[in-house]
Amino acid sequence: MTQRRRMTQKRNWILLAATAAVACAADLPVREVILFKHGVGYFARSGELKPGETARIEFKAEDMNDVLKSLTLTDSKGGKIAGVRYDASETLEKRLENFPFAVGGETSLAAFLDQMKGARLELKMGGSDVAGTIVSARLVKASEKSAEREAVMLLMDSGDIRSFDLGAASAVRLTDPKLQGLLKDYLTVLSQARSKDRRSVFIDSDGSAAREIAARYMIPAPVWKSSYRLLFGKDEEPTLEGWAIVDNTSGEDWTNVHLSVVSGKPISFITQLYEPKYIQRPLAELAENRPAGPRVYEGAMPAPPPAMAKSMVKDAPAAARLGAVGGFLDAANSVRVEQSSIAASAEGRDAGDLFEYSFASPVTVKKGESAMLPFLQQKVATRKLLIYSENYGLHPMDAAEITNSTGKTLDGGPITVYDGGSYAGEALVETLKAGDKRLISYGVDLGTRISTAWDSSRNLVREIHLHRGVLTTRSAVEETKTYTIKNVDAKAKTLIIEHAERSGYKLLNQKPAETTSNAYRFEVKLAASGSEAFPVKEERQVDQTVAITSITPDILTTWVQNKALTDAGRRQLEQIAQKKREVADNEASSRNADADLSNLTQDEQRLRSNIASLNAVSGQQETVQQYARQLAATEVKITAARDRQSQLRNTKTRLESELNSLIEKADF
C-alpha cells in the first residue's frame, strides 16, 4: 500500500468518524393522509421520541412554504416541544462561509489542520499519545525521489517545536469541544447538501421521559380524482359505483395509513415564508457625529422692492360544461358488465361546507404508485330520458336524470354507463350534493328525429302613455318556435327539450318543468311510433318614447284612433291635436302675412324710385302725381299688413301657451 493511499484512507477515516458523531434522528412515520381537490394534502405523522432525542422530517424544498404555514405539533403525554429547527434556504456556499475553515473535495488532512493554527491537537503515535498546539501543517518531501508525506508541526507543552508524520498517526483529534462541534456542523451541512431538493425539519423534545409526538401539516399533493359506473338493470333501480383515484408522489411509502378524500374547494394559497426576507433600513446618525466641512457662501443680492417682495411670497410654489361521448355497440360484440365485487367501506360525513370520504381499512400505497379505492356502491333514484337542444342537430341524446339519494355528496367526475350489462356511453357530472339531481347525457338516440321552425307575428301596440310631454308606446312581437318530433321506435319515451331563454322574452303558452340559468326545460311524452308538435310561444316587449312636441297633428290623429288608448287618453290627445292644428294654421297665416308685407314693401320702394327719377324730367308732373297716389295707397296697405302680422304673432304666443298647458296637464 502506497503512502498516498494510506494518507487518503487516514483522511477519509477521520472525516467519517466525525460524520458518525452527528446524532441520528428519530423517524415519525405517516399515519394519516387526507387529499383535497385544490392541490394540497393533509399529512399526520406520529412516533416516540426518547429523552433528548430529535425527530427529523424531510420535505421537498418547494413545499417548505406550506409546511411553515400549517405545521402543528402535539405531545399525547402532555409534554412540551422544546423547539423546531429546519434547514435554511441559503445556498451551500452561503451556509459554509461562516465557518472558520473549509474542507474541499481534494483537501488533505495537512491542509485542513493548517487552517487550525493555534488549536490543540492530540495524536496517537504507535503506543504513545502526543499533544500540542498546531503551528502549521503541510505536505513535505525528504528528497526529489521520495513521495510526499503529510506532516504537522506542534508546539509541545515543554516549549519544544516538533514535526510529526500524520501518516504514522493512528488517530487525530481536536481537543477543543467548540472546534469539534463546528466540524460536526460543517459535515452535517455537506451531508444535507447532497440532496439539493430536500429540506429537513427537526423537532426537539426536552425532559427525561419518552414522548409520543404528532406532527400535522399541509403540503402540495396531486388532486384526487373520482370516477363512476352507472349500471342499469331490467327492473330494479340502477347501481352507482364510485372510485377514488389517488397518487402517491410524496417520495415515501404510505404504509397502513388512514386515508380520506375530501370533495370541495377551500381557499388555499402560497405565502413566501421559507426564503429569508431582508428589509433595507435607512441610514441615520446624529448630526453632532458628522464632521464639519467647509461651507461656500454666496454673494449678496440687492433687496427687492416691497411690492416685488410681496409678489414673490404670494407666488411661492406649494407642495385599477356538460361534455358527453356517445357509444354504440353491436349486441353480438358487446361485453356483459356486472356490478363490481367490492367492499365500499368508506364512511362519508359533512366537514363544514366540504364532504369527506374516510376509508375504514388502512391503505398502503408505495411511493411512485397510484391506487383506485371504492368509496360508493348504492342504489340511486334514476330515470331514463332523452334530452334535446337545437345545437344537437337532428337527434336527441340518451340521458338519465340522477337524483342523489345516497345521503352523501358525489364528487364531480366521469360516469361510464352500462345498460343491461352492455356499455352504453360515457358522461361527465358536476359535484352533486345530497338530495340534488342532475341530468347526464351519454349517447345519441337515432330512433328519434326533431326539427324546429320559427313563426313571428306583426308588431302589436299594447299600451300608450303620456307623462310630462313624453309619449311612451309599449309594443309586443310574438314569436313561436315549433318542435316537430318523430319517434320511430315502438316504445314510449320521455323527452326533455332545452329551450334557450332569451333576454327580453317571456313565455306565453308553455310551463317549463324546470329552469336553468339560461334555458327552460319542457318535458314531452312521446307515444310509441308517433309524432308530436310542441310549440313554444314567446313575446318580446319594446318600449319607445318620443316628445309629443315633435309629433305632427296627422300622426297624433292616428294615435287617437289606436284601440290600446284609454278614453281619457283619447280626449287629451284630441285636445292636443286640435290645438296643434290651430298653431299650424296660425303659422300658415303668419307666413302669408309676411309674404304680403314683403311684396308691398317692394312696391313701395319701386314707386319711390320712379318718382325720384321723374322729378328730374320736365313735363312729367302728371305721372309723378299718379305715382304719388299709388305710393300713398301702398303705405296704407303696408300699415294694415303690419297690424295683421302683429295680431298673428300675439295669436301664436297665446296658442303655444295653451298647447304647452295642455301637454303639461296631460297624464295617462
Q: What is the pLDDT of residues 311-324, one digit of tens each?
A: 433 343 333 333 33
Upper half-sphere CA count for residue 243 (Cβ side, 13 Å): 16
DSSP 562: -
Q: Which of 16-30, 140-154, 334-348 is the least confident region? A: 16-30
Does the pLDDT at position 668 exceed 90?
no
Cα distance between residue 525 and residue 228, in whole Å: 29
Q: Which of 92-106, 472-486, 651-665 is the least confident region? A: 92-106
| % of the chain with per-residue pLDDT over 70 | 83
Other C-beta atoms closer than 10 Å to the C-beta of 293 total 5
At residue 21 the predicted structure's pLDDT band, cuts being 50, 70 and 90, is very low
Axis-axis angle for helices 621-665, 567-614 (nearest 10): 160
Q: What is the pLDDT of residue 290?
A: 57
Does the pLDDT at position 480 exceed 80?
yes
- Residue 579, C-alpha cell as written in the block: 290645438
Nearest to 248 by CA among 374, 366, 372: 366
User: H helices within 404-471, ranges in order?
Assistant: none
Q: What is the bridge-based pairing of β-strands 40-49 and 30-35?
A: antiparallel
DSSP 451: E
At residue 24 the predicted structure's pLDDT band, cuts being 50, 70 and 90, is low
Nearest to 378 by CA among 327, 422, 426, 340: 340
At residue 345 the predicted structure's pLDDT band, cuts being 50, 70 and 90, is low
Q: What is the pLDDT of residue 244?
A: 93
Cα distance between residue 118 and residue 110, in whole Å: 14
Q: What is the pLDDT of residue 196?
A: 60
Residue with the bigger pLDDT between 7 and 643: it is 643
Q: How far is CA 398 from CA 328, 383, 513, 632, in A?
A: 11, 11, 18, 103
Q: What is the pLDDT of residue 233?
A: 83
Q: What is the pLDDT of residue 621?
A: 82
Cα distance between residue 553 and residue 634, in whole Å: 38
Cα distance between residue 384 and residue 366, in whole Å: 42
At residue 416 the predicted structure's pLDDT band, cuts being 50, 70 and 90, is very high
Residue with the bigger pLDDT between 457 and 305: it is 457
Residue with the bigger pLDDT between 534 and 563: it is 534
Does the pLDDT at position 425 exceed 60?
yes
- DSSP letters for 75-131: ETTS--EEEEEE--SS-HHHHHTTSS----TT--HHHHHHTTTT-EEEEEETTEEEE
Q: What is the mean pLDDT of the chain?
A: 81
Cα distance between residue 154 and residue 114, in whole Å: 11
Q: What is the pLDDT of residue 25?
A: 63
Q: What is the pLDDT of residues 266-317, one digit of tens each?
A: 777 777 777 777 677 677 666 655 554 444 334 334 444 544 444 433 343 3
Cα distance between residue 37 and residue 44, in whole Å: 18
Q: Which of 242-246, 350-354, 466-470 is the least confident region? A: 350-354
Q: What is the pLDDT of residue 91?
A: 61
- Residue 543, C-alpha cell as written in the block: 318600449
Q: What is the pLDDT of residue 466?
A: 87
Q: Dmax over Cα atoms in the chain, in whole Å?
A: 174
Give the amino acid at 176.
Answer: D
Other C-beta atoms closer than 10 Å to the C-beta of 377 total 21
Other C-beta atoms closer than 10 Å to the C-beta of 481 total 18
Q: What is the bridge-based pairing of β-strands 381-388 and 493-500?
A: parallel
Q: In this structure, is the dihedral angle defined by the CA atoms of residues 545, 550, 555 and 556, taken in order, positive or negative? A: positive
Q: What is the pLDDT of residue 446?
A: 93
Q: How far is CA 211 from CA 53, 54, 74, 258, 514, in A?
A: 10, 11, 10, 22, 61
Cα distance between residue 151 and residue 142, in whole Å: 11
- Residue 491, C-alpha cell as written in the block: 316504445
Mean pLDDT throughout 574-579? 88
Q: In this structure, is the dihedral angle defined by the CA atoms of residues 597, 599, 605 and 611, taken in order, positive or negative? A: negative
Beta strands in 270-396 (DSSP E): 324-326, 346-351, 354-359, 363-365, 370-379, 381-388
Q: Which of 56-60, 298-302, 462-466, 524-528 is the least confident region? A: 298-302
Cα distance between residue 397 and residue 522, in whole Å: 15
CB–CB of 423/236 below 8 Å?
no
At residue 337 the predicted structure's pLDDT band, cuts being 50, 70 and 90, is low
CB–CB of 415/427 below 8 Å?
yes
SS3 (DSSP) at 545: strand
Q: What is the bridge-based pairing of β-strands 397-403 and 413-419?
A: unpaired
- Residue 648, C-alpha cell as written in the block: 298673428
At residue 342 the predicted structure's pLDDT band, cuts being 50, 70 and 90, is low
Cα distance between residue 589 and residue 593, in whole Å: 6
At residue 87 the predicted structure's pLDDT band, cuts being 50, 70 and 90, is confident
- Residue 189, C-alpha cell as written in the block: 451541512
Residue 642 Cα to chain centre, angstroms: 79
Q: What is the pLDDT of residue 239?
A: 92
Q: What is the bridge-based pairing of β-strands 225-232 and 413-419?
A: parallel
Cα distance between residue 221 and residue 250, in whole Å: 8
Other C-beta atoms closer than 10 Å to the C-beta of 352 total 8
Cα distance between residue 148 and residue 187, in whole Å: 27
Other C-beta atoms closer than 10 Å to the C-beta of 208 total 7
Q: What is the pLDDT of residue 50?
A: 83
SS3 (DSSP) at 643: helix
Look at the chain and count its residues.
668
Cα angle for residues 618, 623, 626 (degrees, 5° grid): 145
Residue with the bigger pLDDT between 340 and 475: it is 475
At residue 204 the predicted structure's pLDDT band, cuts being 50, 70 and 90, is confident
Q: Which range among 397-406, 629-638, 657-666 has the greatest average pLDDT? A: 397-406
At residue 336 the predicted structure's pLDDT band, cuts being 50, 70 and 90, is low
Nearest to 322 by CA among 404, 389, 225: 389
Cα angle for residues 219, 224, 226 (degrees, 5° grid): 165
Cα angle for residues 663, 664, 666 (degrees, 5° grid): 65
